[in-house]
Amino acid sequence: METITEIVSFSHDGINHMWYPFSAKLDGNNSMISSEFFYEIAELLSLLKSMFATNNHSPEMVSKENIKGSRQFLVGENARRTECSVIFNTENNQYILRRCFFGNYSVEARLHRVNSSVVYFGYDVINMLRKFHKPFIVGEGNLFDNGSFILKPDTDHSRNSLVSLANDWARMVGFQDSRIELDYTGRWSNSGNFGLNYSKRNRRRGKMPSPLRLLTVLAQAVIRKRKFGKCPPILSPFNVESLNEFEAIAMLDLVKNISKEERIQFVIGINGKQEVNSMIDAIATPNLSIYHVN
């Protein structure tokens, strides 16, 4: 199997809340994509995850016989077509992946191996995607997001290494009163006090604060790279609402430096504040507030 080693760029012509066309050329180690609202980042990462998924291709959804029922029962009356393109590298080749979505369903797919005449269409694209070690795209909002899906801690040594890295980084950026923990099933948690802005509701739900969750993802990527010599790209959300601008910048600088040192591609999506964006050279989406009508 080929491992996807880098996402070079991506573009789309508009999703739902992120209705505007958007494109980004990514750095080989670390890029930061900033949007005004966090739900835009969640929607973007969900689209990119769908690009590499192999269980969502249903071109029959838009057949003349099915289109009316599809709109009514499966994708909704307001579902729109979204076209997305991703250019990515493996150890040996560069590919251009294009897919068209109707709601959550892929209805068209094309994969071109650059500098060759090899082009796949439809279900052949899906079969090819099954042969790649694909990027890890982190979700946001449910309990399963606290699992170790990038690297399973199969020994005490690997578990201790993961916990040690995450806690060392947490202390480096000033999180002194919260400790990151990892159980034997690979589930992450935290103890102690993270701050007043982290709600009791989130604690009851077992949801980790976004900054600590980001550090657990980074730790898994680093240990995986050290163990296997390579790691697919990581795309992760980071909600900066609970941090002031200095804490947010310290976190983002840490991830940027570690990504370069370990030579992994780590892409972060943030709900950026203007003062933070100006300090981190973020790829910013349009400011939607300019379109609001009073």
CB 124: neighbour CB atoms within 10 A?
13
Average pLDDT over residues 150-172: 94
Beta bridge partners of 4: 90
In the predicted structure, residue 11 carries a pLDDT above the cut 90: yes
Q: In terms of pLDDT, which residue wins out, 108 or 80?
A: 108
Q: What is the pLDDT of residue 204?
A: 47
pTM score, two decimals?
0.88
In the predicted structure, residue 141 carries a pLDDT above the cut 70: no
pLDDT range class, residue 75, cuts 50, 70, 90: very low
Task: Give the chain's mean pLDDT.
Answer: 87
Short-list 149, 156, 53, 136, CA closest to 97: 53
The CATH number of 143-281 is which of 3.40.50, 3.40.30, 1.10.150, 3.20.20? Answer: 3.40.50
Q: Are 57 and 123 in contact (CB under 8 A)?
A: yes
Q: In terms of pLDDT, which residue wins out, 288 or 20?
A: 20
pLDDT range class, residue 73, cuts 50, 70, 90: very low
pLDDT range class, residue 74, cuts 50, 70, 90: very low
In the predicted structure, residue 86 carries a pLDDT above the cut 50: yes
One fold for 2-135 and 143-281 = yes
In the predicted structure, residue 194 carries a pLDDT above the cut 80: no
Average pLDDT over residues 285-292: 70
Domain locations along the chain? 2-135, 143-281
pLDDT range class, residue 206, cuts 50, 70, 90: low
Instruction: Find the range with the poorest average confidence among 67-76, 162-171, 225-234.
Output: 67-76
| Predicted confidence (pLDDT) per residue in 233-250, tens digit | 999 999 988 788 889 999
Short-list 269, 273, 275, CA closest to 18: 269
Q: What is the pLDDT of residue 143?
A: 45
Residue 107 CA to residue 61 CA, distance in Å, equals 7
Q: What is the pLDDT of residue 238?
A: 94
Q: In terms of pLDDT, which residue wins out, 226 or 198?
A: 226
Architecture of domain 2-135: 3-Layer(aba) Sandwich (3.40)
% of the chain exceeding 70 in pLDDT: 85
pLDDT range class, residue 213, cuts 50, 70, 90: very high
Average pLDDT over residues 282-289: 82
In the predicted structure, residue 98 carries a pLDDT above the cut 90: yes
Using DSSP, how many helices (H) and how many strands (E) does the chain show?
8, 14
